[in-house]
Structure 1
Amino acid sequence: MQEKIIILDFGSQTTQLIGRRVRELDTYCEIVPYNKFPKEDPTIKGVILSGSPFSVYDKDAFKVDLSEIRGKYPILGICYGAQFMSYTNGGKVEPAGTREYGRAHLASFCKDNVLFKGVRDCSQVWMSHGDTITAIPDNFKKIASTDKVEIAAYQIEGEQVWGVQFHPEVFHSEDGTQILKNFVVDVCSCKQDWSPASFIESTVAELKAQLGDDKVVLGLSGGVDSSVAAVLLNKAIGKNLTCIFVDHGMLRKNEFKNVMADYECLGLNVIGVDASEKFFNELAGVTEPERKRKIIGKGFIDVFDVEAHKIKDVKWLAQGTIYPDCIESLSITGT
């Protein structure tokens, strides 16, 4: 089973970037909502807490009980994640007066701390926060400062738990990747053996195990997302996958014919449906863009549903989409 780092998403706009940086270290990671930690997963090697648009003392701030995680996995809190751990353990987080946004430099840091192995003197880091940690609990140890932020990083004494108020994931943090590597590799002991190729192998194996001899139907758009999903499923279950490609008349000239030929070359079992006249009739006289979108969306579902019901004994409906859409489909607010 593929080992992984879990990123708990507290709503930061750079959460996806944290995930990218971890994967660039040849380590698999998954981003999940802050309150959806996957319990009892033996492949988890460590946890990263993201930033957030909220202050820790806001009534709407995202909060979670970390007691089941702390002590079981190494933890790295970034920005809000660092403030949240300090605040909920008795530390103080206060408004910084003016929002600190931009470059800063590590004026001092504990060079013997594993998190800062290989980090250069006065290394540039990127700050983006309106609050700052002004006091840490007694069992927390300050391990870094900048010229403006006294507690730029800390470690809980006797524990594999760190917090940094800067963003190591962004390009402007010069040694940010090194800091993340120190956590992911040196602390969490990840082997750096993951790659997109290994992801394909593991995904196909998981699909085979999950689906067995079941039949699956998938709606194709002609785009990359659904096509990749179809290819992966085809590798796993072959003829038990049936794809439906609906031409709604909005494709480029000859695109339906050309894409169908491409799917044939990929060995996919595809039913092509030319429903362009249906869509043209329903869109006639409609000028409002949002109404057009809804007509096309409903029309696709209607056509797909009719064709899908012609296939016997289907147990699964497959969908291909991009990873950020998976996060948005299960938002951190639960809506």
Structure 2
Amino acid sequence: MNTKYYQPAADGVWTGRIDGSGSEVQRWHQRVQPVYLPEEALPVLRPSQQGVVLLGFACDEGVRRNKGRTGAAQGPAALRRACANWPVHFPAQQLLLDGGDIICPDQNLEAAQEALSEAVQRVLQAGYLPLLLGGGHEITYGHARGIYRFFQQQALGLVNFDAHFDLRIPGPEGPSSGTGFWQLAQDCRQQHRPFHYLALGIQQHSNTAQLFRIAGELGVQHLPADAFHRQDSTALNAAIDQLLQQTAPLYLTIDLDVFAGPFAPGVSAAAANGILPGGVFMEVYRRILRSGQVAGIDIAELNPALDMDNRTAKLGAALIFEAVMHRLG
């Protein structure tokens, strides 16, 4: 791994309330173990153990290229702070590690994404679940490509909670936060792999007619935000079940701009009529987590500079808590 694009998590980010050292009163900041990915081997998991590695992608170069509002590079630190006081509800033998951050110090997004892919492969090789903290949605290409490389010819399913398809064709500046799934589709075509992509929460006013055409040509399955608003999860569950039957494993990404602005104001493109983070969404999210097929998860597009009362960071942290509990609890 190129250490130019890596840094350990900042000192002091894992701090918070201390109610004691006993297992029943511990909080995440008392249990998270830092690991320096370029040099340290991850602890070997015993047959009875599960492990999660938190890995930041402190980059918003793709957002800049996509003409969005930058600031998501500070997202991983904000998510760690929001997670620090979560109570520990998983057994002592289960491991929660912090693998530091992939960074993009020179606007070389492609190199940062390659470093991210390598880090994800390392985490998977050690038997851990990579749980990534974004960062712009350019996190998708680096993260999913690492999963594709690890699982090689297996039929990977891609699930994206997002108002946007992220199927843009790269422009003069190259790939961006809006091109990740288009890039993955091209890789699949070149490698003669199926492209199984399910987008949930799509907003018609957030995607051009060209993007809907590209989605159709690529066979992308998608359901609109209205599917969540109707409080009826039948169509959503049917789409997820179909993907689960066709693929294994799954890559799951959540772009926080899929949620309604009052719940997620701290994103580059806030949605006035986005989906609600409880109810139907949580039912669908937990259904995916319970499948046992998830090989990698990321939370994307948190921009702390645009957040209000840390609402978006707290929402992202709550989603991280759910994912960790389903893996370690």
> What is the TM-score of this pair, normalised by structure 2?
0.34
For the pair shown, the structure with the greater C-alpha radius of gyration is 1
Higher relative contact order (CA 8 A, sep 6+): 2
The structure with more strand, counted as a fraction of residues: 1
The structure with more helix, counted as a fraction of residues: 2
> What is the TM-score of this pair, normalised by structure 1?
0.33
